[in-house]
Chains A and B, each alone.
Chain A
């Protein structure tokens, strides 16, 4: 087992364990902190796949900015012990059924997927580097790039319309 493989398994255990803690921990602030840990583990996976730009952006945007938003949302919600949401039995059953369906679909998809070839190019893949990514983004995918700016514009307008009282 090489260094890459050991790192992969350590990061996988870290990511899955912290993701489970996000769901199971009672305090929502702890959930957010575990989510940050999960994002760092995923960034480690990106670095293992040599997607360096994606790894850094994942830390800047998700672990930095989006997590601040999550904390703001938790503060906005006013989570006191007295207003703990009621646990509905039927809601739990519906959630279990929905999650089971998703698991079934995922397992079926992975069962038929062709994984006989190399799954992922670790350590020295070239496509995730910033040069190649920039060329692909601004040459081949320039229209989706512009559409993303329209998406950002709509997000700005939506945030202002919802958040600003007239």
Chain B
């Protein structure tokens, strides 16, 4: 057990080492084990009195009808893919923000140009009305 508490004693000193991810790993393992234990316990301990009404699919209280696997509108996909693109843009800011002072004006103009391209795309999206939900 000593290697678990080793991290807690000096957590700042080796923050750039892979060993500093040990608490996150422990947390993940704990979360998985906890959920597995809870699901297993409820299946094992809970009473099972299945009736035809209970085994029916739950559809918010109304009578279930049709199939859930229906093709959905492309609008959702369009919003999702635009979200991914801007998500990746934000991720590029993080290495810049960490080195903000060392990079100086040169890095600032590089990022400004990067953001400029994205802004052009954003204006294109707005002008085309791609994010308008109602047609």
Q: Which residues of A contact B (CB under 8 A)?
A: 3-4, 44, 47-50, 52-53, 57, 60-61, 64-66, 68-69, 72-73, 75-80, 122-124, 126, 129-131, 133-135, 137-139, 142, 145-146, 148-150, 152-153, 155-157, 159-160, 163-164
Contacts and interface: CB of A to CB of B under 8 A. Distances in A.
Contacts of A159: 78, 81-82, 85, 130
Interface in B41-97: 67, 69-72, 74-78, 80-85, 87-89, 91-92, 94-96
Contact of B18 (A50, A61, A64, A150): A50
Given A3-B3, A131-B99, 8 more contacts: A69-B77, A78-B71, A130-B94, A135-B102, A145-B110, A152-B121, A156-B85, A163-B75
Contact of A76 (B18, B72, B98): B72
Contact of A155 (B19, B85, B102, B111): B85
A138 B19 CA distance: 28
Interface in B106-128: 106-107, 110-111, 113-114, 117-118, 120-122, 124-125, 128
Scoring A44, A72, A155, A159 by chain B CB atoms within 10 A of each residue's CB, the highest score goes to: A159
Nearest to A3: B3
A3 B2 CA distance: 14
Contacts of B95: 53, 130, 133-134, 137-138
Given A75-B72, A160-B124, A152 B89 contact: yes
Contacts of B103: 134-135, 138-139
B76 A72 contact: yes
B95 to A, nearest CB: 3
Contact of B17 (A44, A50, A131, A164): A50
B114 A146 contact: yes
Contact of A160 (B67, B117, B125): B125
B89 A156 contact: no
A76 B74 CA distance: 8
B129 interface: yes
Interface residues of B, number: 51
Contact of B88 (A48, A61, A126, A150): A61
B60 to A, nearest CB: 19
Contacts of B121: 152-153, 156-157
Q: Is the interface of B mostly helix, strand, loop or mixed?
A: helix
A155 B86 CA distance: 11
Contacts of A160: 78, 124-125, 128, 130
A29 B80 CA distance: 18
B61 to A, nearest CB: 24
